[in-house]
Structure 1
Amino acid sequence: MKTRLQTSENEVEELKRLTGGRPQVAFSATLRETGNAAGNTGPFTTPIPLQYKKVFSNTGSSYNPATGIFTATVKGMYYFRFTMMNNLNDTPNSVVCLTKNGQRLVSVWDTVGTDAHDSGSNAVVIPLEVGDNVYVELLANMLIYDDGMNYNTFSGFLLFTI
């Protein structure tokens, strides 16, 4: 037990040395794992967290691609950004919201119109406690579109601890 404790303490000290003692949390992901699968995600009868499957980075392992949920492991101020795409096929309405612990914070929407292939993004800086969850939610009866060009993204990072 003593050896395991000493090994763990050495690993913590090495991590502190590498990061300057500051926690490092950052992720970036896009909706589809493969680049050639085109089509809509949705509509669904209830709001759902979007699962961004293709992970570009996940320093700190706080983002879970199986659920689409970021869980804070460090208390701090965070920056989040998301994008969405609508191609006006089938059900031509798209609404996605950045959600913290079930509360919608900011949204992007696009509705019926004469134009096609609209996209939008939004961002926010928010404080998080350890265990807080942040995700992008697709509202009920809405959809988003991707054709392998990675239009739908979700990213976030720790600005500083508090």
Structure 2
Amino acid sequence: CAADQSSCGCCLMQRQISRMERLFNKSVNLLKDELMSSKLILNNVRSRSAFSVALNNNSAVTSYGPFSSDSIIKYKHIFINLGDGYNAETGIFTVPRSGVYSLSVTIYGTARLILNNCATLQVNNQNVAELTEKNGQDLEDSNTAVVAVQLKAGDRVSVKLLQGCSINDDFNHYNTFTGFLLYASD
């Protein structure tokens, strides 16, 4: 620039362009970071998973079971099915995202209608918790299990009514099955 005045303006413009390019790249990188952060937050919101179901919503007390073999309970009344993991046709909750889940089951029966109410909470056909209430001297029997378990995406969670057992329900929703993601691990 000192030797040739005509090139001096060019050098100044080149420096200005370089400075603007650095600022532009810095801004683009900050925007990329914000976008990634937003995508992560949105992914966490989308992958929330919770369901809560009851055996039925009938006005009169109805019995479910006994059956000649263990049978998956198909809870028909859905309170919430966030993430659509619970299938009312099969009675199975398919885990959408790996993580720690809270699962709970309550079974109930009246002595006037049944002798035993018993079921198992299962993950991939493996017992996690057993609920058994044999008819005693009272007129109603119930049992509840609540567990926190590590599950993987694709695991199948269900409640099986054990052979020879039955449960009763109506619009009071005495028999429930609930699960929700406490925190994701992927």
TM-score, normalization: structure 2? 0.74
Whole-angstrom CA distance in 2 between matches of 1:21 and 1:28: 18
2:55 — aligned with what?
31
Task: Give unmatched runs, 5+ long, in structure 2.
Answer: 1-36
User: How many residues are treated as equivalent by the alignment?
Assistant: 149
Q: Give, in angstroms, the shift of residue 84 of structure 1.
A: 0.8
Q: Quick one: which of 113, 116, 128 aligns to 2:139? A: 116
Contact (CA 8 Å) 2:111, 2:139: kept in 1 or not? yes
Cα deviation code 1:43-76 (max 9, x no counterpart) = 0011011111111111111111111100011011
Whole-angstrom CA distance in 1 between matches of 2:135 and 2:66: 15
Q: Which has the larger radius of gyration?
A: 2
Whole-angstrom CA distance in 1 between matches of 2:58 and 2:114: 23
Q: Which has the higher contact order (CA 8 A, sep 6+)?
A: 1
2:73 — aligned with what?
50
Distance 1:84 1:21, change over 3 A: closer
2:177 is aligned with 1:154: yes
Instruction: Give the residue type in structure 1 aligned to 2:174.
Output: Y
Which segment is superposed worse, 136-145 or 14-23? 14-23
Percent sequence identity over aligned pairs: 35
Contact (CA 8 Å) 1:16, 1:22: kept in 2 or not? no
Alignment of 1:13-24 (within 5 A): 23-24=47-48
Whole-angstrom CA distance in 2 between matches of 1:122 and 1:54: 20
Provide runs of 4+ in structure 1 moved above 2 Å: 13-23
TM-score, normalization: structure 1? 0.84
Richer in helix (by share): 2
Whole-angstrom CA distance in 1 between matches of 2:71 and 2:111: 20
For the aligned residue pairs, the C-alpha RMSD in angstroms reads: 2.0
Distance 1:15 1:135, change over 3 A: farther
Whole-angstrom CA distance in 2 between matches of 1:68 and 1:124: 19
